[in-house]
Amino acid sequence: MTRDVPVAEISADLGARAESFCRAYFSEGCRQGDYWQVGDTSGAAGRSLVIRLQAQDGRKAGGWIDYATGEFGDLIDRECA
């Protein structure tokens, strides 16, 4: 039996595991304080994309922004620019 899982629930689950997700899917990046820093959404080496690893200031873990392109989103979506 399967159940329909709301996207918000999947997003929250990914956020709770943000660092392990980043280590697996963005291995060219590295932790910088409360953020994972990597080049872009393809996982390329670099520093313009940051992913929040801990919820803080009303913002959930897993939220990201690419300062080079202005794209942003969370771990469940690719972009919301």
Per-residue pLDDT tens digits for 17-70: 999 999 999 999 999 999 999 999 999 999 999 999 999 898 889 999 999 999
81 within a domain of the structure (yes/no): no
Instruction: Tell me which residue range forms the domain holding 30.
Output: 7-73
Rg (CA), the chain: 13
65 within a domain of the structure (yes/no): yes
- Please write the tens of the pLDDT for every residue from 55-78: 989 888 999 999 999 999 988 875
1 within a domain of the structure (yes/no): no
Q: Number of folded domains in the chain?
A: 1
Q: Considering only residues 10 and 20, tell me which one the structure prediction assigns the higher pLDDT.
A: 20
79 within a domain of the structure (yes/no): no
Q: Considering only residues 1 and 18, tell me which one the structure prediction assigns the higher pLDDT.
A: 18
